[in-house]
Structure 1
Amino acid sequence: MLIVFLVSILYSCGSSSRVTDNAQSQRLEELVSEKHFEIRSDQAMPMATASLNSISDAGLFPPGSSAGQISLIGNPNYLKVTGDSVAIYLPYFGERQMGGGYNHDGPGIKLEGIPDEMEITKDEQKQRYIVQIEMKKATESFDIEVTLFPNMNSIISVNSSQRFPIRYSGTVQPIPSEDK
């Protein structure tokens, strides 16, 4: 009798999490189908190079950060999709591989406009969305892959023609009404 009681409690706890996951998944599906969402990142994960390790060893990163994982809490950043337009502002931590210096926008990644290519696909098996974005700015080109998970978490992977790769983790949400 006790075993049946424990099994029923465990089963009911599991089913309530599926209901929550289903509601979040449905909310994500609405945001993606409307192409009207924003991602705020709380962690940057640059490629840990010898230079970044030196900066980390010198204590120049925020508390709790390392060369491979940097806290973005308190730093403005976003990736917004509004219809066919994309606006991106992400702080960049890493090294340039070649090419020109940083522009007047600073060392961050700042892009705005209609991408050269944007494709949104749904991975039915894993219930997540993959957004592929290709954009150019001056002589630099960016390949950006955004993975949106049903629990509203996200991973942004940025590959550039002039910088080492970097990833960001954060959350997806509706764009606030004042930004529409």
Structure 2
Amino acid sequence: MKKTIGILSVFLIFWGCATTKSDTSINSKRMLDDMVTHKSFKIESEWAYPQVTNALSSILNAGLLPPGSSVNSISLIGNSNFVKIKGDSITGYLPYFGERQMGGGYASVNTGIQFDDIPKNYEVKKGKKNSYLISFSIPDKTNLTESYTVNIELFPNLTSAISVNSTHRFFIRYQGNVSKIDDE
């Protein structure tokens, strides 16, 4: 009898944990569906993955990257960054690590990727395993000759992957989390 109760207890614990996990994933999926449908969410990145170049390797060797970073993955924890989609407008600031190919000027204070506009070619597609693929083109907020092609993938566990192609800079990717926009 004690053996049966012990086996039944273990079964109930595992079943209870599995139910909680599936309920959580279903709630996350519903929340993601709602955010994408209503175009109302914010992404905060935790990691940047720049294209590795000799210049970036020199910066690493000089000790100028944050602790825990390597030449191909840079921690953004503690650094302000975001991509906010609210209605038809998209606002973003992402720190940039890499090489600029043209433009920018010597006195330019802006070194990051900044945009605040209504995007062109905004497209949302359903991806594999309940993810969403969002793509758009948008001009730079401070340098009107530069523009970005942005691809965002949102996953049901509320994580994100962003890739940015620029007309003036090398390619860079970001990884982070997606959340609802707090009502202000």
Once the 2 structures are TM-superposed, how far is the Cα of residue 57 of structure 1 from its aligned partner? 1.4
Greater shift in the superposed pair: 141-150 or 13-22? 13-22
CA distance in 2 between counterparts of 1:157 and 1:6 reads: 45
Aligned counterpart, 1:149 = 155
CA distance in 1 between counterparts of 2:83 and 2:30 reads: 21
Give the SS at the match of 2:169.
Answer: coil
CA distance in 2 between counterparts of 1:3 and 1:55 reads: 58
Deviations 1:30-84 (A, max 9, x none): 1111101101111111111111111111111111111111111111111000111
Asked if 1 retains the 8 angstrom alpha-carbon contact of 2:161 and 2:176, the reply is yes
CA distance in 2 between counterparts of 1:52 and 1:75 reads: 19
Aligned counterpart, 2:104 = 101
CA distance in 1 between counterparts of 2:92 and 2:19 reads: 37
* Equivalent residue in structure 2 for 1:17, among 14, 21, 35: 21
What is the identity, as a one-letter code, of the residue corresponding to 2:87? G
Greater shift in the superposed pair: 136-145 or 53-62? 136-145
- Where does the alignment leave 5 or more consecutive residues of structure 1 unmatched? none
Give the SS at the match of 2:168.
Answer: coil
Once the 2 structures are TM-superposed, how far is the Cα of residue 164 of structure 1 from its aligned partner? 0.7
What is the identity, as a one-letter code, of the residue corresponding to 2:150? I
TM-align CA RMSD: 2.0
Deviant stretches of 4+, over 4 Å: 1-12, 102-105
Aligned counterpart, 1:121 = 125
Once the 2 structures are TM-superposed, how far is the Cα of residue 4 of structure 1 from its aligned partner? 8.3
What is the identity, as a one-letter code, of the residue corresponding to 2:133? I
Aligned counterpart, 2:55 = 51
Deviations 1:114-134 (A, max 9, x none): 0112111112x4110111011
Greater shift in the superposed pair: 13-22 or 64-73? 13-22
Once the 2 structures are TM-superposed, how far is the Cα of residue 172 of structure 1 from its aligned partner? 0.6
What is the identity, as a one-letter code, of the residue corresponding to 1:100? G
Aligned counterpart, 1:26 = 30
CA distance in 1 between counterparts of 2:45 and 2:145 reads: 26
Asked if 1 retains the 8 angstrom alpha-carbon contact of 2:117 and 2:139, the reply is no
**Normalized against structure 1, the TM-score is what?**
0.88
* Equivalent residue in structure 1 for 2:116, among 100, 112, 124: 112
CA distance in 1 between counterparts of 2:63 and 2:35 reads: 40
Structure of greater Rg: 2
Once the 2 structures are TM-superposed, how far is the Cα of residue 112 of structure 1 from its aligned partner? 0.5
**Normalized against structure 2, the TM-score is what?**
0.86
Once the 2 structures are TM-superposed, how far is the Cα of residue 16 of structure 1 from its aligned partner? 2.8
- Where does the alignment leave 5 or more consecutive residues of structure 2 unmatched? none
Give the SS at the match of 2:47.
Answer: strand
